[in-house]
Amino acid sequence: MSMQLDFSAKRVLVTGSTMGIGRAAAEGFHELGATVAINGRSAKSVAKTIAEMGGGERLIAAPGDLSKVAEIHKVVPAAIAALGGLDILVNNAGRGDEALIDDIDEAHWQSMLALNLKGAFFTIQACLPALKESKGNIVNVASMLGVMGGPAGNIVYSTTKGAMVNMTREMALGLARDGVRVNNLCPGWTDTPMIQNENMLSGDDALYKYIDAECPMGRIGEVRETTGAILYLSSANAGYTTGSTLVADGGLSSGH
């Protein structure tokens, strides 16, 4: 049995794939032979991402705001039609706006819930007919803050990601007999452009120094490591794995 990862002829939708973890995952699938639908809120950013990835028939534009159910019902069917079906959904679109408990208003709560949880659920629902047909699989990108507490300001974000972890377990049970696998990836601190920008604003590499001190492995995670976890969960090598939570955080949550 070959353990090599090969996604030739696989059709993949990665939400939130114009930057960071989602972009790296889309690149990983594409490099391994898949046809990939690229999603982001801006059609311009989607087109730019596709151009930077080299263009061609195996890259599909699927712009749209997945915090809105009506838009999900347009974007997802169009992407699946362009792909010719769907084998893998990576639910990565999300936001991480910070606010302290006393400062949270309804608008903040609703905006975070709309994309991180409601959007993820209804994206899966819209993909299910195609995934049931292909006996495909879903990877929900949650967060280490879905399995542990974190710094002040993350209560709403952490709540949405904890809910995603349990939603994944329930979906795995409900879809197992349909041949659809559903798993979580919970990344820790990852060296994405967003984190790089936050570190620059912190001055004197303060954020990187904090991460290095807090993480048992003494360093921030690399995007390729998160991509590797997503590719594994999406592959035949994980064919007997469903309802699981893979935590890629350098051991940070183990101490909490």
Could you tell me the CATH number of the domain that includes residue 133? 3.40.50.720
Report residue 253 as tokens: 């949550």
Tokens linked to 131:
């995934």
Question: pTM to 2 decimals?
Answer: 0.94
Structural domain contains residue 203: no
183 close to 137: Cβ distance less than 8 angstroms: yes
Mean pLDDT of the chain: 93
Q: Which two tokens stand for residue 217?
A: 């492995």
Q: Would you state the pLDDT for residue 76?
A: 98
By residue count, the chain amounts to: 256
Within-domain flag for 90: yes
157 is catalytic: yes
Total number of domains in the chain: 1
**Computed from CA positions of residues 62, 247, 157, 215, in that sequence, does the dihedral angle turn out positive or negative?**
negative
Say if 88 falls within a structural domain: yes
Structural domain contains residue 212? no
Average pLDDT in the 151-155 region?
Answer: 81
> Is residue 127 included in any domain, yes or no?
yes
Kindly tell me if the per-residue pLDDT of 1 is higher than 60: no
| Average pLDDT for 174-198 | 93
- Domain annotation covers residue 201: no
Domain that holds residue 135: 11-189+223-255
Give which of 253, 243, 194 is closest to 22, Cα–Cα. 194
Task: Output 40 or 207, whichever has higher pLDDT.
Answer: 40
Please give the C-alpha separations between residue 166 and each of 161, 189, 207, 231, in angstroms, as whole numbers: 9, 21, 30, 21
In a domain, 71, yes or no: yes
Residue 86 has pLDDT above 80, yes or no: yes
Say if CB 165 and CB 243 are below 8 A apart. no
The single residue of 157, 208, 210, 232 carrying the catalytic annotation is 157
Q: Which pLDDT value is given to residue 202?
A: 83
With respect to residue 198, please indicate whether it lies within any of the assigned structural domains: no
Per-residue pLDDT band for 256 (boundaries 50, 70, 90) equals: low
Cα of first residue to Cα of last residue in the chain, in angstroms, is 38
pLDDT at 165: 95
Helix axes 155-175, 120-134, angle to 10 degrees: 20
In which band, very low, low, confident or very high, does the pLDDT at 150 lie, cut at 50, 70 and 90? Answer: confident
